[in-house]
Structure 1
Amino acid sequence: MTTGNNTGDPGAAWPKATERLIELGWSDFFARHLQQLPSPALRAGRVIAQHRGALLIGSEFGDLRAEMTGRLVHEAGRSEALPAVGDWVAFSQVANGAAQIHAVLPRKSKFSRKVAGSTTDEQVVAANIDYAFIVSALTAELNMRRLERYLTVAWESGAQPVVVLAKADLREDAREVAREVGEIAVGAPVLVTSALSGEGFADLMPYLGSHSTVCLIGSSGVGKSSLVNRLLGEERQVVRQVRSDDRGRHTTAHRELFRLPQGALIIDTPGMRELQLWGDPTAARRAFADLEEAASGCRFTDCRHEAEPGCAVRDAVAAGLIEARRLDSFHRLHREMQFLEIKQDRRARSEEKRKHKVLARSLRRHYQQ
């Protein structure tokens, strides 16, 4: 972590507190929420690393190992309310120099996915991000449908998606591929880069302004760690060398926030084997803005673009203006999010029913005494 490690006297560090927190992305938004907490003695810190439940926070006192209070764990209830990398937290220091986290401050944005498996829990990958860099390698494994999935979740996060096509040195038609990606990444910039040659890195700079936070997301081996190393100007993230056509695969095993020389903050994440959707079903519409534009001509305002008469979207597909595969992808993602919403509603009703039963038993015991 590049935020420094000032482990001196906290009192001596206090005069630099404002500057240090600002370097970590502190703003009036978080300051207002910190002031609303009941204890004025709590300090603010940002989660800069998370590894198998262990947390590291950056603060005015340097980087501190941190653990959550039992009360926070109990009151949070679900995992999405617990600290994630990028979160701002309120903490107190304990005798051994570690920190105890008492509260997670409200988030401005969050990149979430559904946890793997049949449960409907949310996993917050990164919090309080300004840009979501969707990194994909310019190899034969580049998949447009996977990109549409990432874009759907990125738009839902509240951050601005940016598609970063890495390893441009591996193919001569990189610009043509970028044009094709641009046709599905409506509203998101598409940048071509090479960590090997430095190509395209100047195009990243407008998104890496001082104190802005960027999250790198993508599958394993697409070049996220190489991108981080190039931006840092040093080999901070380990890259495992593989066959020559892929050049290297990263070995990032945990989420971590780095401060770049120009002042931006960047969160590297482990490669995702799968990205299960999370969010409102309408989120798919933002990732398919071209379909939404065509839908304005549909006869019915609630047209599902399936078998309804007067569907302008299906007319656009028939005319070759929209790819049939893109419409199929929209339907698949929209149905997946609808199914998730149904499961969430069922779980919420079940949880509410359980709470009523617990309350009823408590009342019966009270009146029996």
Structure 2
Amino acid sequence: MTINLIKYGLTTAVQADLTKENGQILGRIIGQHRDWYQVITTAGERSAQVTGKLAYEAASPAAFPAVGDWVCLSSSADNQAQIEAIAPRQSVLARGAVNRQDGQIIATNINTIFICMSLNADFNVRRLERYLTIAWDSGALPVIVLTKADLATKLRAVADVSVGVPTIACSAETGQGLDELQPYLTTGQTVAFVGSSGVGKSTLINRLLGQDILATKSIRTDDDKGRHTTTSRQLIPLPTGACVIDTPGMRELQIFMGDLNQTFAEIAALATQCKFNDCTHTSEPGCAVRAAVEVGTVTSERLQSYQKLQREMSYQGLNSRQLEQAKIQRMFGGKQAMKRVKQRYHRD
């Protein structure tokens, strides 16, 4: 049986970006288990490892394959599949790692990020700001999905921190709001589901699949906190023609790279009115941001969250040019690769 890779998100742009050598085949990574990868090809699923050359040339863990990547495969003498090359990434969702030097890639080549949050005792606006920060930096579109819609009493708190981001309240149990997800789930689209454990990501994906493929567990009744069910990232095609990437719950989300200017747009706009260009919004005279806090147009909690994420981001201290170069290298592999991608999409 031949697998049509279009149902796994294959586009003409992807095919043009990855040059296959003789004997190599194209595939997309749909699962990862330490050093082993599940790769879907036209011939079906294959288990693969990276070649020694690719591992040697990897400058950081982020340079290794991740779920969502398109890759070239070859076979060794013992017919073991090997990953020879990775196509330039159109988007990268990453979070901070324990060592705070390298980022951990959550998923790549995604069009939309569904940030799932349950409106129960686990509801946390500050955590939502973290998700939005890495989502805006990824190159994909963030969409907030509020699960357990029958508890939707906190929409105002979400609206205060999500200007410009679509927000959908839905319930896998009742079907409420599922129609609003469909525009993001059309053929060729890849959507990553992120959020804490127990917010209903796997349940929602099962509802979209029309069958219970992913294991689910209920939220603990004593503290409304979720229990880990998904233990690894996996890419799954939907009947609509889109692909979804289910990710393990992330209660503690460290920032690796992010876009604070999008997440905190009102603070970024006010900062341009500060007396000093390098104002830290702490004790400098003529600070427009602190003035807004004093009159109540910006909450002190919002400013504190902004400052905390600024301090936490692992690339703090880099200038704007270095930040842009780091992002281009991470997403495209260099400026030339980025130019080729832009030229191709302009032609399309």
TM-score band, normalised by shorter chain: 0.7 to 0.9
Decide whether aligned partners of structure 1 residues 303 and 139 sit closer, same or farther in structure 2, where only a CA change above 3 A counts: same
SS across alignment from 2:47: strand
How much does 1:33 deviate? 2.3
Matches within 5 A, 1:301-316: 301-316=277-292
Q: Are positions 1:57 and 2:39 aligned together?
A: yes
Decide whether aligned partners of structure 1 residues 233 and 274 sit closer, same or farther in structure 2, where only a CA change above 3 A counts: same
Paired with 2:106 and 2:22, the residues of 1 have a C-alpha distance of 30
Q: Give the structure 2 partner of residue 151 of structure 1.
A: 132
- Which stretch shifts more, 243-252 or 324-333? 243-252
Paired with 1:242 and 1:295, the residues of 2 have a C-alpha distance of 41
State the Cα RMSD in Å.
2.2
Paired with 2:317 and 2:29, the residues of 1 have a C-alpha distance of 30
Decide whether aligned partners of structure 1 residues 54 and 148 sit closer, same or farther in structure 2, where only a CA change above 3 A counts: same
Matches within 5 A, 1:177-196: 177-196=154-173
Structure 2 counterpart of 1:299, from 266, 275, 281: 275
Paired with 1:304 and 1:144, the residues of 2 have a C-alpha distance of 23
Q: Give the structure 2 partner of residue 284 of structure 1.
A: 260
Paired with 1:186 and 1:97, the residues of 2 have a C-alpha distance of 52
In structure 1, give the amino acid aligned to 2:6: I
How much does 1:226 deviate? 0.7
- Which stretch shifts more, 307-316 or 250-259? 307-316
Q: Are positions 1:225 and 2:171 aligned together?
A: no
Matches within 5 A, 1:160-199: 160-169=141-150, 171=151, 174=152, 176-199=153-176
Structure 2 counterpart of 1:67, from 49, 54, 57: 49
In structure 1, give the amino acid aligned to 2:182: M
Paired with 2:159 and 2:111, the residues of 1 have a C-alpha distance of 21
Structure 1 counterpart of 2:15, from 31, 49, 60: 31
How much does 1:52 deviate? 2.9
Q: Are positions 1:83 and 2:65 aligned together?
A: yes
Paired with 2:252 and 2:220, the residues of 1 have a C-alpha distance of 23
In structure 1, give the amino acid aligned to 2:130: R
Paired with 2:181 and 2:77, the residues of 1 have a C-alpha distance of 43
Q: TM-score scaled to structure 2, two decimals?
A: 0.85
Q: Give the structure 1 partner of residue 304 of structure 2.
A: 328
Decide whether aligned partners of structure 1 residues 61 and 33 sit closer, same or farther in structure 2, where only a CA change above 3 A counts: same
Paired with 1:32 and 1:230, the residues of 2 have a C-alpha distance of 34
In structure 2, give the amino acid aligned to 1:334: Q
Q: Are positions 1:274 and 2:256 aligned together?
A: no
Q: Note if contact 1:223-1:250 (Cα within 8 Å) is conserved in structure 2.
A: no
Q: Are positions 1:44 and 2:22 aligned together?
A: no
SS across alignment from 1:239: coil
Q: What is the count of residue pairs matched by the alignment?
A: 318
Greater helix share, structure number: 1
- Structure with more contact order per residue of length (Cα contacts < 8 Å, sep ≥ 6): 2
Q: Note if contact 1:64-1:98 (Cα within 8 Å) is conserved in structure 2.
A: no
Any unmatched runs of 5+ in structure 1? 1-5, 7-12, 346-369
Q: Note if contact 1:113-1:275 (Cα within 8 Å) is conserved in structure 2.
A: yes
- Which stretch shifts more, 77-86 or 92-101? 92-101
Q: Are positions 1:22 and 2:26 aligned together?
A: no
Paired with 2:78 and 2:201, the residues of 1 have a C-alpha distance of 35
Residues 293-351 of structure 1, C-alpha deviation per residue, up to 9 Å, x if partnerless?
22333333333222222222212111111111000100110111166557xx9xxxxxx
* Structure with greater Cα Rg: 1
Q: Give the structure 1 partner of residue 337 of structure 2.
A: none
Q: Note if contact 2:100-2:256 (Cα within 8 Å) is conserved in structure 1.
A: no
